[in-house]
Amino acid sequence: MKTIYQRLDEIMQRIMRESFRENTGLGNEIGYYIFDYEPRYEMLVREHVHFLKQKINDGDYGFRIKEFDLYEIILELLETKGYLEKNFNMEQAKGSEFVFNATKKALRLTGKDDLVIQYIKDRVEKGDVVFITGVGKAWPIIRSHTVLNNLHQILDDVPVIMFFPGVYDGLELVLFEEIKDDNYYRAFKLVDRY
């Protein structure tokens, strides 16, 4: 079994390949990838994502990494709409479950006008490599398979990598190695654990 350090080192090798960035060699599949990891390595993965972004974006590599932290997007959208403070008050009065559902409605999650998906789409350019982070922080408001399914419909010309604190076996996503998400079979494993 590879160590987390070996696996993180392989990310740079993968994204540097022109075939990776052009979504070629995938049998006409869209370049969606999952980098799954044990949740205990969350901080290490965050640091490595920051390192990769800085190295690529400050260098002359011919492409840019765009990172989208799902949790930070939620906060920004709620703040912009004037709902963030209301959510805090609502949670004290009505509980977390109520706020989760209200937030999903406010952000139009899973709808055709999903604000999180639109936020990402509006900020991606041809030639970018998209990193999706904050999956664990955004749960249970946003489910990873929902984000991937909705992005698939609108973002098909750039590679997308979701950093997933759990297990992806090529068919199902298990967040935190405990919470089974719906099946998702369209993504490739970015770096195998073995």
pLDDT in tens, 64-117: 999 999 999 999 999 998 988 888 888 889 988 998 999 999 999 877 889 999
Tell me the two tokens of residue 57.
Answer: 């974006």
Domain that holds residue 156: 4-12+30-160
Q: Is residue 38 part of a domain?
A: yes
Q: Is residue 54 part of a domain?
A: yes
- pLDDT for 23 equals 73
Q: Is residue 22 part of a domain?
A: no
Tell me the two tokens of residue 95.
Answer: 């509980």
For residues 146 and 27, which has the higher predicted lDDT (pLDDT)? 146
Q: Is residue 8 part of a domain?
A: yes
What global pTM score does this model have?
Answer: 0.93
10 Å CB burial of residue 164 (0-12, 13-18, 19+) is buried
> 138-141: long-range contacts at Cβ-Cβ below 8 A with a sequence spacing of 24 or more?
138/70, 138/71, 138/74, 139/175, 139/179, 140/100, 141/74, 141/100, 141/103, 141/104, 141/107, 141/109
pLDDT, tens digit (0-9, with 9 covering 90-100), for 144-172:
888 998 898 888 889 999 999 999 988 88
- pLDDT for 122 equals 96
Q: Is residue 90 part of a domain?
A: yes
**How many structural domains are present in the chain?**
1
Q: Is residue 20 part of a domain?
A: no
Q: Is residue 181 part of a domain?
A: no
10 Å CB burial of residue 39 (0-12, 13-18, 19+) is middle
Q: Is residue 57 part of a domain?
A: yes
Beta 172-175 vs 179-183: how paired, if at all? antiparallel
CB atoms under 10 Å from CB of 155, counted, come to 18
Residue 26: pLDDT above 80? Answer: no
**Which of these, 95, 92, 74, lies nearest to 84 by C-alpha position?**
74
The SS3 of residue 122 is helix
